[in-house]
Amino acid sequence: MTAINDVTTLETVGEVAVLTLNSPPVNALSAPVREGINNGIKQAMENDAVKAIVLICEGKTFIAGADITEFGKAPAGPSLFDALNMIEFASKPVIAAIHGTALGGGLEVALTCHYRVAVPSAKCGLPEVNLGLLPGAGGTQRLPRIVGPEKALEMVTSGSHVGAKKCLEMGLVDELTEEGKLRDGAIAFAKKIVAEKRPLKRVRDLSDKVEAARGKPEIFSEFRKANARKFRGFLAPEYNIQCIEAAVNLPFDEGIKVEQKLFRELVTGTQSAAQRHVFFAERQVWKLPDVPADTPTIPVNKVGIIGAGTMGGGIAMNFLNVGLPVTIVETKQEALDRGIATIRKNYENSAKKGRFSMEEVEKRMGLLTGSLEMEALADSDLVIEAVFENMDVKKQVFSKLDAIVKQGAILATNTSALNIDEIATAVKRPEAVIGLHFFSPANVMRLLEVVRADKTSKPVIATSMQLAKKIGKIAALVGVCPGFVGNRILAQRQREAQKLILEGAMPWDVDRVLYDFGLPMGPFAMSDLAGLDIGWSKEKSQGATIRDVLCEMDRRGQKTGAGFYDYDENRNAKPSPVVEKIILDFAQKKGINRRKISDDEILERCIYPMINEGAKILEEGKAIRSSDIDIVWINGYGFPVYRGGPMFYGDTVGADKVLAKMKEFQAQMGDDFKPAALLEKIVAEGKKFSDF
C-alpha cells in the first residue's frame, strides 16, 4: 500500500488498484482530497499491471461534497476539475464504491467515474440548492443524461437524498453490493468489467434522454409554475433549472460553461453565504460551552403533559411520534376527551394523506393515556406544563407536581413569556425546572427554545437538548428574559408595525414590504390569521388601540371574515376601506400628522430594531451566539433562510449601517431606537455579529 498523501492511499489487489480516501468527518473535497484523487489516479494509470481502479472512502461516508469551509478562500491545490478530468479521461475503468452519502461534489466525482457500485444503505443527492448553490462540477450536465431532465429537475431543486435501490432503478448506480462488503464487492465488479472487456462508459457521451426532451420547453415552464411558491425569493432553484435546460439544449461542453458561470454567480452572492451560514449554525446550536457533550443525561421513558389544549396536544404528539408513552392530564373530562380526539384526528388525517398506516395511528394512540388526576404523573421522567399563561396558576401546578412527581424527573414549563426563575421558586428542586418553549402548532414547528433558569442543572439541560433532537426539533438554549429570544425580538417589530400604520403607512404596505423581504406573511396578515381577539377582552377594551376598535366592531380576523383586511368566502384578503378610515380617524384623534412612509423606512424600522435587540440579548448572555438567534428566527418565525437570519442579515447590511440608522431614528423618534452597547462595540472594533 502506498500513501499518496496524508488522506489517500493506493493499493493494488491483483489487477485492481484501490484508491482510498480517508478525510474525516465526511471526506469533503478539500485540497488534500483533490490532490489525493488526482495523483492517485495518475499513479494507477502509470502502473501497467493495473487494469481497473476502485475509488472508495473510509469512515462513515463516501465524499459528502465540496469542502464548504473553502468557499470564499483563495484556491489551493489542484482544482476539482483537474481531478475529475483525470478520472473521466482515464484509459482504464474507474469505479466509484459508495457507502453513506455521495452528495454534491461527491456525487459529481462518482458521475465522472465510468461505473458506480453502492451498498443498499447508501444515498446519492445533489443538495447544493440547500446551500444556495448548484452542482458546479458537472452535476447538472451529467445527471439529466442518466436520469432524464424531469427527475434531474426534481433532484437538484429539492436536494433530496435518493436511496441506493432507487438509484439502481434510475441508472445512477450500476450494481448493489452486499451491505458491509463494499470493498470486496467493488473489486469483484472491477474484475468483471475487465474480464468482459466492457467499454469505458462516460456519462458526458450519453445523449438519448436529453435529446428526447429537446424542443419541449413546457417541461421547464410547468415545473417552474408548479413550484413557484416553494421557490419564492430563492435564486438557486431557478439557476439549477437553467442549468438543466442548458443540458437539454446545448452540447455537453457548452452546458458546462453555463453551469460554471451560474455557479460562480451564486457562490459569490449573499444568498449562498447566508445559506452556508445556516448550515453551520444548525450544527453549532447543539454545542453548549458549559454543558459538554459528556454531561450525564436523565433517561426519559415516560412523559407527562398538563393541559390537553392545542399546545398540550401538539406537544404530546412529538413524543408519541417517536414511541414514547405520554400521560396527558386535564381538569375536566370534556376537555380531556376533546384534546385526545384532536390528536387522533390529526393522526388520521396524516394516515389519509398516506404519511403512515392506520395501524401506525393505533400504535401511537395506544401510547397515550388521559387522566384527570395529577397523581397519574408520579412516575414520569419528564413533565411539561402547558396550562394557561398565568404566574399564579403555573406556580400552583409546579408546587403540586413537586409533591407528586418522582425525584430526578424534569419539570418543564411551556411558558412563552413568564419568568421561569419565579416559577422555580414554587418547588423544592429548582435544579429540575426548565423551559421548553414549543411553537404552535407544536407537532409541526421545528423550533424549540430550551430556556435555562438560574438553577437549572446541567444534566437537565443536556437531556432536554438530546430529547429535542430525538423528536426532530432544532433547539436553541436561551436564558430567562421577557419573551426569551424569539418573542423578545418579535416585540420590536410588532411595536414598529403598529407605529407605522399610525404615522402614515397602511397595514397592507407594511405586510407587502415584509412579504417581499421574504417572510411568509406580514404582521397584520399574521394577526388576522391568529385572531385579533387573542388576549383581548370586551370588558377591558377601551378603544385605546386600533386592535381594540377592530375587535369591538367584531372584525376579529379571518375567522370573522374581517380584521385588518376584508376577506372573501375563500379567505382571500383585500385592503379594507373601513380599516383605512379607522386608522385615519384614530391618527387624527391622537394628533398624529400622517406622512408618506417609504418602503425602505418600513423595512428598516421593522428589521433594524430586531437586530439591535439581538445584540442586547447577546450582551446579556441570553443567547450563546448570534447564529443561535438566527436559528430561532428562521425556524420559529419564518425569517427567510436566504437572508441567514436577522443577525446574519445585519452583517450583510453592515453593522455600521444598522447603527447609523438606529441613531438617526433615535434622534427623530426617541429611545425605542437606542443602540445596544454591543452594536456600538461591534462597529467601533470593526467586527461582525457573527464574531459573537
Binding site for ligand 3H9 (CB under 6 A): 25-26, 28, 61, 64-69, 80, 101, 103-105, 108, 127-128, 131, 133, 135-137, 139, 280, 283
Q: Measured from the CB of residue 152, what is the shortest distance to ligand 3H9 in angstroms?
A: 14
Q: Measured from the CB of residue 180, what is the shortest distance to ligand 3H9 in angstroms?
A: 18
**Buried residues in 420-444 as b, exposed as e (16+ CB within 10 A):** beebbebbebbbbbbbbbbbeebbe
What 8-state DSSP symbol labels residue 74?
Answer: P
Strands (E), 316-446: 326-329, 368-371, 382-385, 410-413, 433-438
Q: Cα–Cα distance between 234 and 641 in angstroms, integer?
A: 9
Q: Measured from the CB of residue 74, what is the shortest distance to ligand 3H9 in angstroms?
A: 15
Q: Measured from the CB of residue 412, what is the shortest distance to ligand 3H9 in angstroms?
A: 26
The residue type of 318 is N
Q: Cα–Cα distance between 56 and 10 in angstroms, integer?
A: 10
The residue type of 429 is R
Q: Measured from the CB of residue 66, what is the shortest distance to ligand 3H9 in angstroms?
A: 3
Whether 645 and 630 have beta carbons less than 8 Å apart is answered as: yes
Pairing relation of β-strands 8-13 and 2-5? Answer: antiparallel
Whether 475 and 567 have beta carbons less than 8 Å apart is answered as: no
Angle between helices 626-637 and 270-284 (to 10 degrees): 100
Contacts of 681 (CB under 8 A, 6+ apart): 687
Q: Measured from the CB of residue 625, what is the shortest distance to ligand 3H9 in angstroms?
A: 14
Residue placing its CB nearer to ligand 3H9 in the complex, 67 or 528: 67
Q: Measured from the CB of residue 263, what is the shortest distance to ligand 3H9 in angstroms?
A: 6
Q: Cα–Cα distance between 413 and 449 in angstroms, integer?
A: 11
Residue placing its CB nearer to ligand 3H9 in the complex, 65 or 255: 65
In three state form, how does the secondary structure of 263-292 look?
A: HHHHHCCHHHHHHHHHHHHHHHCCCCCCCC
| Cell reading at 691 | 464574531
The closest alpha carbon to 641, from 243, 286, 281, belongs to 281
Residue placing its CB nearer to ligand 3H9 in the complex, 89 or 280: 280
Residue placing its CB nearer to ligand 3H9 in the complex, 465 or 606: 465
Please give the backbone phi and psi of residue 497, each rounded to the nearest 5 degrees, phi first. -60, -45
Residue placing its CB nearer to ligand 3H9 in the complex, 4 or 124: 124
Widest pairwise Cα distance in the chain: 93
Q: Cα–Cα distance between 688 and 147 in angstroms, integer?
A: 44
Residue placing its CB nearer to ligand 3H9 in the complex, 105 or 148: 105
| Cell reading at 396 | 400552583
Residue placing its CB nearer to ligand 3H9 in the complex, 72 or 482: 72
Residue placing its CB nearer to ligand 3H9 in the complex, 266 or 329: 266
Matching residue, cell 421561569 = 420
Q: Measured from the CB of residue 70, what is the shortest distance to ligand 3H9 in angstroms?
A: 8
128, 330, 496, 503: the active-site residue: 128
CB atoms within 10 A of CB 679: 26
Q: Measured from the CB of residue 242, what is the shortest distance to ligand 3H9 in angstroms?
A: 15
35, 108, 385, 449: the active-site residue: 108
Q: Which helix (H) or strand (E) holds 175?
A: strand 175-176
Specify whether 108 is catalytic.
yes
Residue placing its CB nearer to ligand 3H9 in the complex, 147 or 326: 147
DSSP string for residues in 199-245? PP--GGG--HHHHHHTT-THHHHHHHHHHHHHHTT-SHHHHHHHHHH
Positions marked catalytic = 108, 128
